[in-house]
Amino acid sequence: MSENPQSASAPAPSWATLVATFLGVGRLKPGPGTWASIATVILWALASLVIPPSARTWTNVIAVVGVTLVGIPAATRVARASGNKDPQIVVVDEVAGQLVALIAVPLAWKTSLAGLILFRAFDILKPFPIRRLERLPEGIGIVVDDLGAGLYALAVVHLLLHFEFLTG
């Protein structure tokens, strides 16, 4: 984790810490990003049980937009307060990226698991141009690279579904 040019400042506002850590999930060890992805998949699956199938895709897209719009300023504030460019406790980016990986994916354990594994793999490996997205300033760079990883995972999950290597 690289340091910001400015040193750590006052603590981040409570709302920012709650959002950025996904209600504290970001404090779980080891691998807070993986814990956040698992929690997101479980919460999305539970929410999907009460969302009509015809509304799930748009609900998911709206959730991605909402998490992203609130997550960027929250991640920025927590990063500034910590003095780290991308603190490990900030996992709202994993929430947004994991939700992207599940857009229009049938609700089933196999598809959810594939989305989880693929998203984490792309988030960790950061294939081109995802690593470049990390260079964007503050919360934008923290969150947008995970949106990119989510798009890669989404594409692969849909290819697996299309070619019937994966069934919903």
- What would the pLDDT profile of 26-83 be if each residue is shown by its tens digit? 999 999 999 999 999 999 999 999 999 999 999 999 999 999 999 999 999 999 999 9
Token representation of residue 128: 């081109």
> In angstroms, what is the C-alpha Rg of the chain?
16
For residue 144 the two structure tokens come to: 């947008």
Q: How far apart are CA 120 and CA 102, in angstroms?
A: 13
CA–CA gap between residue 142 and residue 85 (Å, rounded): 8
Per-residue pLDDT of 117-140, as tens digits, reads 999 999 999 999 999 998 999 999
